[in-house]
């Protein structure tokens, strides 16, 4: 069964057709990559898949549930979590509180229990804090629990955002260019982290420019170009697809052969 799928998805901004008739299915338990040149519509697609934008046409399924047109928080409630290209920290909160926000849809949210600080709320808060601390250790930020989220280094923010996304116990995790702005050793650590997340049974959808990261963690890939789906399938097949080589991967793999990190 597919964890996340789209049928005939389209989105226009004025005259610009950012995403045109894109269909794909992400198999559960896999690492699925979405690649394409700048402006290909990758981030727009991710925004559609998390309810940030409403699609102009087409349908989106999470598991077998149709969530087309639902607001973002409902995607989260049904197990879709994501990170952003530039980390979106909650700047007025500590690192661990940022992660605890991620648990929002799994927490007890009664206003009365919260204001009176009833025992049920205290238990729920303790559980949240424990889970958040565990996730921060998982992404390698165990020593930064009470750090000011806005003051973290860039790489740490990216990992904190992943911890926050994982806090909702998602079935599908969408990562928007997680390796962007990271140095090669940080990118390697990140690749290992994505592997550990996938090994834990979370389906990962990866939007990425860094081909080394994509090639080392994902087996299936969707190639976007000018908002349309150029190719979709197993990594090896897509790499050999002449259209892909012509439009995007060809020059990229040549560059890749010379310098495996630069893209």
Partner 1 sequence: MRFASLRPRHPGIVVLTAVTALLPLVLANKYFYEVAILVGVNAIVCVGLNLLIGYAGQVSLGHAGFFGLGAYGVSILTGAYAWPPLAALPAVLVAVALLAAAVGRPILRLRGHYLAMATLGFGMIVSIVLVTEDRVTGGPDGMAVPPFTAFGFALSDERAWYAVVGALLVATVWLAHNLIDSPVGRALRALHGSEAAAAVSGIDVARHQLIAFVISAALAALAGALAAYYAGFITPAKAGFMHSIELVTMVVFGGQASIFGAVVGAAVLTTLPQVLTAFKDYEMIVYGAVMMGTMVVMPRGLVPTLAQAVRRSAPAEAKR
Stretch that binds partner 1, among 36-44, 117-125, 183-191, 201-209 (CB under 8 A): 117-125
What's the CA gap between 194 and 187, in Å, rounded? 10
Q: Is 172 in the site for partner 1 (CB under 8 A)?
A: no
Stretch that binds partner 1, among 29-37, 114-122, 186-194, 222-230 (CB under 8 A): 114-122
Contact flag: residue 21 with partner 1 (CB under 8 A): no
In 3-state terms the chain splits into helix, strand, coil percentages (rounded to 5) of 45, 25, 30
Q: Measured between alpha carbons, how far is 106 from 76 in angstroms, rounded to an integer?
A: 10
As measured in angstroms, the least distance from the Cβ of 68 to partner 1 is 17
- Please tell me whether residue 72 binds partner 1 under the rule CB under 8 A: yes
The residue within the footprint of partner 1, chosen from 40, 100, 162, 163 (CB under 8 A), is 100
CB of 197 to partner 1, least distance (A): 17
- The count of residues interacting with partner 1 (CB under 8 A) is 43
**Member of 12, 29, 68, 104 binding partner 1 (CB under 8 A):** 104
Residue 128 contacts partner 1 per CB under 8 A: yes
Quick check: 215 binds partner 1 (CB under 8 A)? no
| Residue spans of beta strands (DSSP E) within the chain | 2-13, 16-27, 31-35, 57-62, 65-66, 80-82, 172-176, 203-207, 220-225, 228-234
CB contact burial 79-97 (16+ within 10 A = b; e otherwise): bbbbbbbebebeeeebbbb
Select from 54, 65, 117, 240 the one that contacts partner 1 (CB under 8 A).
Answer: 117
Interatomic CA distance for residues 258 and 49, integer angstroms? 35
Q: Which is nearer to partner 1, 74 or 189 (CB)?
A: 74
Using an 8 Å Cβ cutoff, are 42 and 34 in contact? yes
What number of H helices and E strands is found in the chain? 11, 10
Q: How many residues are there in the chain?
A: 263
Residues 176-195 that bind partner 1 (CB under 8 A): none
Q: Are strands 228-234 and 220-225 parallel, antiparallel or unpaired?
A: antiparallel
Binding of partner 1 by 158 (CB under 8 A): no
Q: Interface with partner 1 includes 202 (CB under 8 A)?
A: no
Tokens encoding 38: 């700048």
Dihedral over Cα of 243, 194, 202, 30: its sign? positive
Which one among 24, 60, 70, 75 touches partner 1, defined by CB under 8 A? 75
Q: Under the rule (CB under 8 A), what is the footprint of partner 1?
A: 50-52, 71-73, 75-77, 81-82, 84, 88-93, 97-98, 100-105, 107-109, 111, 114-117, 121-122, 124-125, 128, 164-165, 167-168
């Amino acid at each position: 069964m597919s964890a996340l799928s789209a049928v005939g998805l389209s989105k226009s901004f004025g005259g610009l057709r950012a995403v045109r008739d894109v269909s794909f299915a992400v198999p559960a338990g896999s690492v699925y990559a979405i690649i394409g040149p700048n402006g290909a519509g990758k981030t727009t697609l991710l925004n559609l898949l998390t309810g940030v934008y409403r699609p102009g046409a087409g349908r989106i399924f999470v598991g077998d549930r149709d969530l087309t047109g639902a607001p973002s928080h409902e995607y989260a409630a049904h197990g879709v979590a994501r990170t952003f290209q530039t980390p979106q920290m909650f700047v007025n909160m500590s690192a661990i509180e940022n992660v605890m926000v991620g648990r929002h849809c799994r927490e007890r949210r009664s206003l009365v229990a919260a204001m009176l600080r009833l025992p049920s709320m205290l238990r729920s808060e303790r559980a949240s804090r424990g889970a958040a601390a565990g996730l921060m250790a998982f992404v390698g930020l165990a020593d930064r629990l009470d750090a000011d989220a806005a003051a973290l280094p860039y790489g740490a923010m990216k990992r904190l955002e992943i911890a926050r996304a994982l806090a909702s116990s998602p079935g599908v995790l969408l990562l928007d260019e997680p390796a962007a702005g990271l140095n090669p050793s940080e990118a390697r650590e990140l690749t290992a982290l994505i592997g550990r997340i996938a090994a834990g049974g979370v389906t990962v959808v990866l939007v990425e420019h860094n081909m080394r990261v994509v090639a080392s963690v994902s087996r299936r890939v969707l190639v976007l170009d000018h908002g349309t789906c150029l190719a979709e399938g197993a990594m090896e097949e897509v790499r050999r697809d002449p259209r892909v080589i012509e439009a995007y991967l060809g020059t990229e793999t040549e560059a890749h052969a010379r310098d495996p990190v630069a893209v």
